[in-house]
Amino acid sequence: MSNFKTISPEELQKNPFHLIGKEWMLIAASKGDKTNAMTASWGGVGIMWNKPVAYIAIRQTRYTKEFVDASDKLSLNFFGENFRKELAYFGKVSGRDEDKIAKTGMKVSVNDDAPVFDDAETVLVCRKLFAQRYDENSFVDKSLLDTYYGKESQHTFYIVEIEKVLVK
């Protein structure tokens, strides 16, 4: 188990545009005794239903989606510039084909029922609040459909409550 300290979401110093868009994150969730994770760079943080929340979008085809759908809890793990190679791997290979966590040798601990990467610098421990598959009819800018969903599967949009922020 890593040496994290817990801070409140308001105390988070990092810019979320940089954190999510540039550093990327590992979305991790567990199903039974198995854990899987995938890299993501789309999402956000904010306030919804008077709660601190994060938003993520996961395509139907991702193995991680099965884990996220099976559990109430998940974690968003940020590593700074470290582990870029590992994050590229987690974003290219599917957990259906390889045990990505075992292959990278990265250690995962359980924190409040969510899998947390020991090597992360910042972790958002989250609880699912809302999940909805994007509906074609809801796109105001229809060009997004061609650009992002021509051949690829649709996303499901998740809003998750940030229950805990862990930092090193």
Ligand X SMILES: Cc1cc2nc3c(=O)[nH]c(=O)nc-3n(C[C@H](O)[C@H](O)[C@H](O)COP(=O)(O)O)c2cc1C
Task: Name the residues that contact ligand X, by CB under 6 A.
Answer: 24, 36, 38-42, 57-59, 62-64, 88, 91-96
Q: Is 157 exposed, middle or buried (0-12, 13-18, 19+ CB in 10 A)?
A: middle
Question: Which residue lies nearest ligand X, judged by its C-beta?
Answer: 91
Q: How far is the CB of 143 from ligand X (least distance, A)?
A: 19
Question: Toward ligand X, which CB reaches closer, 5 or 151?
Answer: 151
Q: Measured between alpha carbons, how far is 94 from 76 in angstroms, rounded to an integer?
A: 18
Q: Measured between alpha carbons, how far is 66 from 50 in angstroms, rounded to an integer?
A: 28
Question: Toward ligand X, which CB reaches closer, 2 or 94?
Answer: 94
Q: How far is the CB of 153 from ligand X (least distance, A)?
A: 9
Q: How far is the CB of 29 from ligand X (least distance, A)?
A: 10
Q: Measured between alpha carbons, how far is 160 from 153 in angstroms, rounded to an integer?
A: 22
Question: Toward ligand X, which CB reaches closer, 4 or 121?
Answer: 121
Q: How far is the CB of 104 from ligand X (least distance, A)?
A: 13
Question: Toward ligand X, which CB reaches closer, 38 or 166?
Answer: 38
